[in-house]
Amino acid sequence: MPDGVELTSRFESLKVYDDPLEQGSDADFLKSCSGTLSEYIQSVLTSIPNCDESTVTLPSLPPERYRVIPKQEFTQGDVSECNFRYSPEDSPVKAKICEAKRLSLKDSLKPVWHFEVEPNSSVHYSPGDAFGFFIENDSHLVSWLLHRFNVTDNLYVADTKSAPPKSFEVSSALRKQFDLFSPPKKSLLRLLGEFCVDERERRILLLLSSDVGRDTYRSLFIRERVSLLDLLVAFPSCEPPLEKVLDGLPFLMPRYYSASSCYESKENTIDFVFSLAQYNIIAGKRWTRKGHATGTLDRICTQWDKRSLDDVQLTIFHRPSNHFRPPENLDVPYLMVCAGTGLAPFRGFIQQRRRKYTSILKTATGDYSMGQVYLFFGCRQVGEFQWYLDEIENDMSMLPNAELFVCYSRSTDDAMYVQDLLKKHAEQVNRLICSHPSSRIYVCGDGANMAKGVQESLSDILSEYHCSNKEDAKKFLKKLSDEKRYVQDIWFWG
């Protein structure tokens, strides 16, 4: 078997790709995609103009940072333990997963999980705070990559830019420090091209890294999400030294998740919720790639749910929120708007509010004023997030002036998004916002669609009931934002 075919087969057998429509045998999957990935990438790249290379502008090569340590210079005592890269202000702790429960329906193609972790030391946090999760690259994937670069034994390199310079073992660094799936930088593409033996492959990669290949680059790496590993399959003659590739790789960054609990309710454990991110790799194909962090967490939670998993230790750190937290004064009314996993921080908001109110009832001698609180939530289907919704509804039923509104975008009866739900209750929403000089609005979820739709609905509501026109309503929301009374915790899918 030719080396290139063998490498392609090994790569695909790692199940980097998933075919959600083909839940059958691995053999069927391999038969459907064997060789096709390479052919597809090559065909897309033929759209680059056939121009004179002397007329194109190439990016600079990645600055040199890593150096292989020759065996004669290597001493075991000089090697540093390879850990995740984190900021000095962060204090990572180990945390054991101690519970996992599925919040989505069984037949959903986008699993949603609640899971709980127990840190090895107590972490005091507030509702609205986030935690950074460090997730290693898959060890099998790292093994494939080392094989692709003909690394047959332990390779040690020195980081010449660190202060002081550090040496580390490469396979450990590839697991914990380098991002293998983000779009490769153009400087890295040029590097790969410089080390192609095949002239056609060299030319394609160089042109792809240049100004001429700009549109194709965006199509291939931003829209189609082709990665460095895909390129190494598609360009078998590319044989750069591994340390040169490390020069061009970005560092692996933590993924952030909002706590879905409050510290006062669960001092020893922290709750989180996530949905599995899946990305189409090739337009018109059925291949998808799972998100780096959510793919790993989904596998862990699935195994935990089946009780087939031993203790799993994750590395996390606390990232406090400056403004996305409930007001200290329970008299201040606030509006919470979210969709999907954006519900996470508001579960903590409500837990904390109920505990505070219960504590006040034990000591209060007369009536205690409580501001109005609304939670507007949207998801796809009836039954999703039901455990969370039942719990939140129960908590809110024990609070004065608290109300939950829920809608479903895929409902057969009354389908709507959360921004539509706001307009359905426009008068109540306006009354809450304008009822107190310190009232708040919190929005959590997808920033590309949901958050924009919510802002548009709020503008419409305020222009109808509070402001003279839409422009004044937008200025009013801008004022609330400047005063940190309109706060968003949103994310964007790349």
CA distance 309 to 332: 45
Give the rounded distance of the alpha carbon of 206 from its chain centre. Answer: 31
The predicted pLDDT at position 136 comes to 93
Write the DSSP string, 71-100.
TTT--GGGBPP------TT---EEEEEEEE
Percentage above 70 pLDDT, the chain: 85
Q: Is the dihedral of CA 464, 470, 475, 480 positive or negative?
A: positive
Residue 86 has pLDDT above 80, yes or no: yes
For the stretch 388-442, pLDDT in tens is 999 999 999 999 999 999 999 997 788 999 999 999 999 999 999 999 999 999 9
For 7, counting Cβ atoms within 10 Å of its Cβ (0-12 exposed, 13-18 middle, 19+ buried), the class is middle
List the structure tokens of 246: 């490390």
| Residue 442, C-beta contacts closer than 8 angstroms, at least 6 positions apart | 324, 334, 335, 336, 337, 345, 346, 349, 487, 488, 489
Which domains occur in the chain, in start order? 93-137+254-319 (2.40.30.10), 334-491 (3.40.50.80)
Q: For the whole model, what pTM was predicted?
A: 0.88
Nearest Cα to Cα of residue 151 among 173, 125, 118, 124: 173
CA distance 394 to 379: 19
Q: Angle at CA 462, nearest 5°, toward 458 and 467? A: 150
Residue 14 has pLDDT above 60, yes or no: no
The predicted pLDDT at position 13 comes to 40
Mean pLDDT of 89-114: 91
For the stretch 290-305, pLDDT in tens is 888 999 999 999 988 7
The predicted pLDDT at position 413 comes to 81
